[in-house]
Structure 1
């Protein structure tokens, strides 16, 4: 279940504000184990680990859309709480702060510098556990462009760091990237390429973090004024820092949206996901069917 809300405020030509709130009720896939204390085999649990999260975002933008220089300042708070299987030790609060400076070099092309910080606080860790609290840093350079030779995109490359509060944990420092490129061969058809490299919270009980690489391709097509479809495929690799566990992931999906009314859309979707791990018992397959309603006021 997902519920989101967005408010865009144009304070003046140079000042804009976007406020967002989101509530998500979801679950972890089978094969995710408790990260603190005794390792629990989630594959043996009668239900997957269920959780809910609340997120609040605010982005302040300074600079007119066509100005030589612009800046975005972003802040967010995320609260995740587990609801079953005695997984309260995984409850955590996250604070995000980042800023992006854009320098226009062509009418529709800008270079960018992004600096970001993310603090992760596990709120229910047992006293005897080695703390998983950490701070992540992000230093990225890149470019963004619009409608140049039928493409629109943002590419960012640089350095990412994960620094733990506990000396017993292994810190990380290495290359990271975030790429999002859209090619529009026709006004009614687009192809999106996304790829990234970043760290994620560990789930095994013996590791400190997971280094995740992803690449995805999506084709979106508007068949009529009311009917849209999306086809997507993705590949991923997860490297666990201490246990030498490596997971290869692949996924494919299809989505269909139909506009019943001007203010109401109905959606159907199917996703197939597979995980192939060098730890055989962590192999995983899932089939997810989705139904959605989208209403606009």
Structure 2
């Protein structure tokens, strides 16, 4: 069988649930290539489709997501194409139905034990669900009669010099991403933008299982409309460490500073702390606790300068038997809209159940509760969602 690709596929954007995908898919030969098809089917119910503060809309819904990965390998060179489609249907509100597409091509070349190049190209047709809340780029049902659609075209590459086990290793990556909205142009055109990112990371091994790291990340954000004054340049410097399974823990932590300079002098320069961290603790091989957190500046999608976004997630995954596992997690997201006084908190608690009926078939269910609170009067809301799903492969 062809080795699974080491590039992250764009199709991972199309997700049905947060539970761990436990399938072990098989491939079929297509000439000298290997085709790996999978499918996820979900049926669920939400009691607040639009995240409304009152007169909530409840509905049953379905999501079907087939995924195809076609891959070939010759020596140390691996290349392939992945395509995923997600069809969502809301039984009580078909105006909110959607079809998302994700097409990606990837290639990995290992020149020797110290040098590796990875390339990823993506073409995505996605959507923003309608919402009454001030979350993301969602538009209110009072403004639009269906979800807003957008296209992302991206090209990225990562070059690694030095073996993972070596004393030193350098990883350099770059990505160019063009995002443009396809409908409701009088509202969404202001969000069209080109983003260029360059990241360099140096790792220094201080023990067999622990490495220190220093990372610099540059990002240029250029909006298409000249009337939009959010064009900026970001510089992020972070230092930290990563470690493999040492005393039952593994993880990576990075702390540093973020500076965001706007082309428009009327907008204030941002200088703030930033971090990215993820730590796993496994008191048993079948029971894992994980903590992840990040702080970053998100694009505002409105008149604000940016969104100061801080996220914390604590989770516990436990295997009760070889086939049955659960996942309990809680996420706190704080969003401060700089340039205004808006301050939002979103708490989401999720319980996921997985039953691996066969190697190629997994049954599952997710139950989640979301609570949104804001310093804007009358903006708070709660929502509950349940999803039942089937994940299958060859």
Task: Name the TM-score, length of structure 1 as normaliser.
Answer: 0.84
Structure 1 match to 2:203: 102
1:101 Cα offset (Å): 0.3
Mapped pair 1:255 → 2:352:
yes
Stretch moving more, 196-205 or 266-275: 266-275
Structure 1 match to 2:128: 27
Mapped pair 1:75 → 2:177:
no
Contact 1:30-1:284 at 8 Å conserved across structures:
no
The structure-2 alpha-carbon separation of the partners of 1:24 and 1:84, relative to structure 1 and needing over 3 Å to count, comes to closer
Q: Distance in 2 between matches of 1:294 and 1:7?
A: 27
1:183 Cα offset (Å): 0.6
The structure-2 alpha-carbon separation of the partners of 1:290 and 1:141, relative to structure 1 and needing over 3 Å to count, comes to same
Mapped pair 1:134 → 2:236:
no
Structure 2 match to 1:111: 212
Paired residues for 1:145-164 under 5 Å: 145-164=243-262
Q: Distance in 2 between matches of 1:160 and 1:273?
A: 30
Structure 2 segments unaligned to the other structure (5+ residues): 1-12, 15-83, 85-101
| RMSD after superposition | 2.9
The structure-2 alpha-carbon separation of the partners of 1:190 and 1:24, relative to structure 1 and needing over 3 Å to count, comes to farther
Contact 1:31-1:43 at 8 Å conserved across structures:
no
1:275 Cα offset (Å): 1.8
Stretch moving more, 96-105 or 72-81: 72-81
Post-superposition Cα deviations, 1:19-41, rounded to whole Å, max 9, x if no partner, equal 44553623154334999xxxx97
Stretch moving more, 79-88 or 147-156: 79-88
Contact 1:33-1:42 at 8 Å conserved across structures:
no
The structure-2 alpha-carbon separation of the partners of 1:289 and 1:164, relative to structure 1 and needing over 3 Å to count, comes to farther
| DSSP-derived class of the 1:79 partner | strand
The structure-2 alpha-carbon separation of the partners of 1:19 and 1:34, relative to structure 1 and needing over 3 Å to count, comes to closer
Mapped pair 1:221 → 2:318:
yes
Mapped pair 1:15 → 2:112:
no
| DSSP-derived class of the 2:190 partner | helix
Post-superposition Cα deviations, 1:163-205, rounded to whole Å, max 9, x if no partner, equal 1111122220111111111111111221110111110111342
Task: Name the TM-score, length of structure 2 as normaliser.
Answer: 0.65
Q: Which has the higher contact order (CA 8 A, sep 6+)?
A: 2
1:278 Cα offset (Å): 0.6
Pick from 222, 226, 239 the counterpart of residue 121 of structure 1: 222
Contact 1:82-1:88 at 8 Å conserved across structures:
yes
The structure-2 alpha-carbon separation of the partners of 1:289 and 1:81, relative to structure 1 and needing over 3 Å to count, comes to farther
The structure-2 alpha-carbon separation of the partners of 1:188 and 1:252, relative to structure 1 and needing over 3 Å to count, comes to same
The structure-2 alpha-carbon separation of the partners of 1:74 and 1:27, relative to structure 1 and needing over 3 Å to count, comes to same
Q: Distance in 2 between matches of 1:230 and 1:99?
A: 34
Post-superposition Cα deviations, 1:193-244, rounded to whole Å, max 9, x if no partner, equal 0111110111342x11111111111112233444443221011211111111
Structure 1 match to 2:70: none
Count, aligned residues: 289
Mapped pair 1:51 → 2:153:
no
Q: Distance in 2 between matches of 1:32 and 1:74?
A: 33
Stretch moving more, 260-269 or 79-88: 260-269
| DSSP-derived class of the 2:301 partner | coil
Post-superposition Cα deviations, 1:229-285, rounded to whole Å, max 9, x if no partner, equal 322101121111111111111111133444455355555434332221111244344
Mapped pair 1:240 → 2:333:
no
Structure 2 match to 1:88: 189
Stretch moving more, 96-105 or 216-225: 216-225
Contact 1:24-1:54 at 8 Å conserved across structures:
no
Is the radius of gyration larger for structure 1 or structure 2? 2
